[in-house]
Chains A and B, each alone.
Chain A
Amino acid sequence: MAALKTEIIIETRALCYSYAGAEEVPPAVAGIDLKVSRGEYLALLGVNGSGKTTLLKLLNALLIPSQGEVLVKGISTVEAERVQLVRQACGMIFQNPDNQIVATTVEEDIAFGLENMALPAAEIRRRVDQVAGRLGLTHLLRQPPHLLSGGEKQRTAIAGILAMQPACILMDEPTAMLDPAGRRDVLETVKELNKTEALAVVHVTHNPAEAAEANRIVVLEQGRIVADGKPGEILTDLKLLHGLKLQGTVAAELAHLLRQRGLNLPTAILQNRELVESLCISEPVS
């Protein structure tokens, strides 16, 4: 099993991308070497315009590298005739659930990618039912997607990707349009699959609390990787984050303010309960 753990799903080598017509400005992705392994949950952070979406689209063969290469399960994304395989291995979820629903019922929408894979009807049926059960969509299969809540739409989009049994799911701010309950639904579902099926996850987010749930954090700045480590290291290093115009979790930021005002608190505070614990035992103000 140890060998499985380090199975590389995605590998980029000196990856660069410039948008057409924007050649004079710095490239959107400017030399990225990244490996994502089976079972890894990677959160991708960075300010607006730092290259996160561009990187995800490169990993999914929606964009083709200007320089360098992307290998998905060993297949280069420039091999046009194998693009379908890349997209099956590595599916993408976008910010807005409305933009990715294509069919007239939830069921057809989930089956859409499977139809393209030309699977037998019985196999399609089996996979749709299985994934719908797993994501709590069984009772909604015959609904038109426009009647669903944002969280349900986003889970439908995820179901369509998972039905293809990918090795990796790429999520670009998947919860930005969701309410707190929908957000929890989506994240718990993905986390569960990450644990039980070793699904690799690359999750772009501006929310430090979501990033704290990952097991690795990569930070981009102007198309380059400027930090790569565990959430406990990166999200508590407020000097690093503030220097990159990012923020830590609410608990980390509050602990930081309190420390500046003379309160004696440990530096490794990440979660609310850690802050509450420390405040209830910590020494009074000096």
Chain B
Amino acid sequence: MYIGTSKLTHTYWPGTPFAADALKNISFSVGQGTFTLLIGPSGSGKTTLIQHLNGLLKPSAGEVYFDGKKIGPDKAALLALRRRVGLVFQMPEDQFFSETVFDEIAYAPRNLGLDEKKVEERVNRAVAQVGLERSRLLDRHPFQLSAGQKRRVAIASVLSLEPEVLILDEPAAGLDPEGKGNLLNLLSSLNRAGKITIMVSTHHLDEIAALADNLVVLNEGGLVMSGKTKEILARGAELKELGLALPQVTGIMHELAARGLPVSTDIYSLSAACDEILQAKRADQR
């Protein structure tokens, strides 16, 4: 098993009146080089699960695996794990601890023992990858930024680690349309060309579903669906029951199909929708 869990249960505040099972008996795994989306309503356990995959929480029961090995309490092993599995937090502020944006992004490569020239190269590359290259923000305190700029810095400070697994918790929240588009292109190329394993938790499937191999769906701490993106998104009614939504273009394709236009409904991106509609229109004409 590359990454996954076996019968993972997590209880916050065990033994107190606030005790709550945030994860119940979760077993799943993803293969190396895959792209997985983790979805589920607010409070379903996405962030809790993601934190286990990075060794930030300790299972109340069950196991978490990475690269065939159980993630254990051993400190050295946990540090080694965090060099290979990068995690972008849901709240950028929770991740920041440096005095400047530069130091924040330089932290991971410095920690790897790279010399300052290599560190600077990595920082510059990460800054360009998140579209902050012309922004002159590197000397500021990470808190002296707009919401979207903080998000970009949080992503850059994990990219600079160049991990083999990239886990992002709701990474597009607060990004403007261009920032979102760039993030998706970046994730797609890291996954396809760089063979990086990617896992993203999100409430919004627009465009990103077109990149994902697999979908994992949580509800109230339990795993309720998991499988190929296409298989899961074909179960729109069940997702709706959970308060989740299909990509908007998928909704449009369903309406068109219902009106008799011969289009496929397994469409998750604007460009795929455009091709599909044109093809259907041409078929109609003949």
Contact = CB atoms under 8 A, between A and B. Distances in A.
Contacts of B136: 25
A276 B244 contact: no
Nearest to A94: B147
A22 interface: yes
A4 interface: no
A250 B149 contact: no
Nearest to A282: B281
Contacts of A206: 148, 174-177, 180
Contacts of A80: none
A250 B270 contact: yes
Interface string B252-286: 10011001110000000011011001100110110
Contacts of A150: 42-43
Interface string A29-54: 00000000000000000111100010
Contact of A209 (B147, B203, B248, B273): B248
Interface string A180-216: 1111000000000000000000000010110000000
Contacts of B281: 263, 279, 284-285
A149 B41 contact: yes
B270 A180 contact: no
> Which of A47, A173, A179, A257 has the largest number of chain B CB atoms within 10 A?
A179
B91 A261 contact: no
Contact of A49 (B149, B177, B270, B284): B149
B178 A173 contact: no
Contacts, number: 134
A258 B203 contact: no
A264 to B, nearest CB: 10
Contact of A257 (B90, B170, B206, B271): B271
B283 to A, nearest CB: 10
B149 A179 contact: no
Interface string A148-192: 011100000000000000000000110011111111000000000
Contacts of A25: 136
Interface string B140-156: 10001111110110000
B135 A49 contact: yes
A203 B274 CA distance: 31
Contact of A53 (B135, B147, B170): B147
B270 A253 contact: yes
B131 to A, nearest CB: 9
Contact of B249 (A19, A176, A250): A250
A22 B261 contact: no
A222 interface: no
Nearest to A45: B176
A22 B146 contact: no
25 contacts: A21-B144, A25-B136, A47-B148, A47-B179, A48-B146, A48-B149, A48-B179, A49-B145, A147-B20, A173-B147, A176-B173, A177-B90, A179-B203, A180-B244, A206-B180, A245-B178, A250-B248, A250-B252, A253-B270, A254-B270, A261-B274, A261-B278, A272-B248, A276-B252, A285-B278
Interface of A: 19, 21-22, 25, 46-49, 53, 95-96, 98, 144, 147, 149-151, 172-173, 176-183, 206, 208-209, 245-247, 250-251, 253-254, 257-258, 261, 263, 272-273, 275-276, 279-280, 284-285
Interface of B: 18, 20, 40-43, 90-91, 135-136, 140, 144-149, 151-152, 170, 173-180, 203, 206, 243-245, 248-249, 251-252, 255-256, 259-261, 270-271, 273-274, 277-278, 281-282, 284-285
- Nearest 8 A-B pairs (CB), nearest first? A48-B148, A181-B243, A150-B42, A284-B285, A180-B245, A247-B177, A250-B248, A257-B274
Given A180-B244, A246-B177, A284-B284, 14 more contacts: A22-B144, A47-B179, A48-B149, A49-B135, A96-B91, A150-B42, A176-B173, A182-B42, A250-B248, A258-B274, A258-B278, A276-B252, A276-B256, A284-B285
